[in-house]
Copies of this chain bind each other. A is one copy, B any other.
Amino acid sequence: MMRATSKQLSAYMKRTAFFISDGTGLTAETLGQSLLAQFENITFNKLTRPYIDTVDKARGMVQQINTAAENDGARPIIFDTIVNQEIRDILAQSNGFMIDIFSTFLAPLEHEMSSRSSYSVGKSHSSAHSANYMQRIEAVNFALDNDDGARTQYYDRADLILVGVSRCGKTPTCLYMAMQYGIRAANYPLTEDDMERLQLPAALKTYRHKLFGLTIDPERLAAIRHERRANSRYASFDQCEFEVREVEMLFKRENIAFIDTTHFSVEEISAKILVEKGVERRLK
C-alpha cells in the first residue's frame, strides 16, 4: 500500500469508510452509503465489517482503522451499530471518526415512548425476518415458478404481473420485490407475436388489474441483449427499437401503467411500482 503525501492529498480527496456491526451490517451500510453519497467530491473506500462481536475482533478492527488512517492521511469514517459497550469502547480508541447510530437516536426515542429499549442490534433483522421467513421463501418460489411466462394458471395468486419486452428487467424486479417485500410477482414477456396481433395475450386479459409494464431505452436494451446473444437479430438496435415502440403503444392503448427502467435501480423500480399499484408489502 502506498502512503499518500500531503501533496497528493491536495490533488484528490480519498477517505476510507467502515460500516461496522455485531450483526449483518446492513443498517450501518445502508445509512452510511446514503450519507456518504452526499459528498460527491470525495472518493470513499467502503468496507463492511459484520459480526464484530468479540473484544478480539474489535482489537483487530482498531488495527485496520489505524492502518487506513495512516495510508489515507485522514481519519476513516466509522458507522457503527454495535450494542456491547466494551466493544464500542475499544473501537472508540481507534483513530477514526465515529458516527454512533444507535446511541444518537435511541435516547430521544426512549424519552418519547417512555420506555427503555433493549438496545440489542441484530435482533431487528433476525426477529423481524425469521417471522417472515416462509412468506419470503414462498414469494421467491412464486417469482421463480412464474418467471418469463413459464405458466399462467397461478395468476389468480399473483399480487402483480410485470409485462414488457425480453430483457427489460422483469425478472430481477420480481425477485427483488419477493425478497424485500414478500410480494408475489409473476412476469410475462411480450414477444413479436403479441405485438403483431396488437392486443394483450389472452392469459393476461383476465388479470388486467394486476398488470404493470416495464419499458427501456432501445440502445440500452440492445447492449443488454448483446451480452446474451451477440450480433443476433434479437440484439440489433432496429429490432429493439421496433419492440419497444410497439409495446409502449400497447401499454397506452390498453391503459396499462408503465415505467421506463433505463435510469432506475431495481430498488427504485420496485418502490415506484408498489406506490403506483397501491400494493401493500407482505413482510412486516
A118 contacts B75, C-beta separation under 8 Å: no
* A37-B127 in contact (CB<8A): yes
Q: How far is the CA of A227 from the CA of B136 in the complex (A)?
A: 14
> B-facing mask of A121-158, CB < 8 A → 1, else 0?
10111111110011011101000100000000000000
| 8 Å CB contact of A39 from B39, B97, B117 | B117
Interface residues of A, count at CB 8 A: 79
- A34 to B263, Cβ gap below 8 A? no
Contact A113 B39, CB 8 Å, known A31-B30, A266-B136: yes
A219 to chain B minimum Cβ distance, whole angstroms, is 14
Q: Which residues of B contact A123 (CB under 8 A)?
A: 37-38
Chain B residues within an 8 Å CB radius of A130: 263-265
Chain B residues with CB below 8 A from A134, complex form:
224, 227
- Contact residue among B15, B75, B102, B271 (Cβ-Cβ distance under 8 Å from A50): B271
A97 to chain B: which residues have CB within 8 Å?
Answer: 112
B118, A263: Cβ atoms closer than 8 Å: no
Segment of A40-48, A62-70, A229-237, A249-257 engaged in the interface with chain B: A40-48
> Known contacts being A37-B124, A127-B37, A129-B266, is A112 close to B271, with CB within 8 Å?
no
Q: How many copies does the complex hold?
A: 2
Among A203-227, those with CB < 8 Å from B are 224, 227
Interface hub of A37, A128, A130 (most chain B Cβ within 10 A): A37
List CB contacts (< 8 Å) of A13-58 with chain B. Answer: 13, 15, 23-27, 30-31, 33-42, 46, 48, 50-51
In the complex, per-residue mask of A85-126: 1 if CB is within 8 Å of any chain B CB, else 0: 000000000000101011011101100110101111101111
Which residues of chain B are near A120, meaning CB under 8 Å?
37-38
Q: How far is the CA of A48 from the CA of B77 in the complex (A)?
A: 29
Within the assembled complex, what's the spacing in Å between the Cα atoms of A179 and B36? 21
B residues in contact with A133, CB < 8 Å = 265
> A284 contacts the other chain (Cβ, under 8 Å)?
yes
Inter-chain CA distance A175–B115, complex, in Å, is 38
Smallest Cβ-Cβ distance to A110: which chain B residue: B39
Return the chain B residue nearest A281 by Cβ. Answer: B48
The reply to whether the CB of A268 lies closer than 8 angstroms to some CB of chain B is yes
- Say whether B37 contacts A179, CB under 8 Å: no
User: Contact at A264–B126, with CB atoms within 8 Å?
Assistant: yes
| 10 A-B contact pairs sorted by A residue (CB < 8 Å) | A27-B30, A37-B123, A129-B266, A130-B265, A133-B265, A134-B224, A140-B171, A140-B172, A144-B144, A175-B175
Q: Which 5 A-B pairs have the closest CB atoms?
A: A129-B265, A37-B124, A38-B117, A24-B271, A34-B124
Q: A51-B275, A137-B169 are in contact. List 5 more A-B contacts (CB 8 A).
A: A26-B271, A33-B124, A37-B120, A39-B109, A99-B109
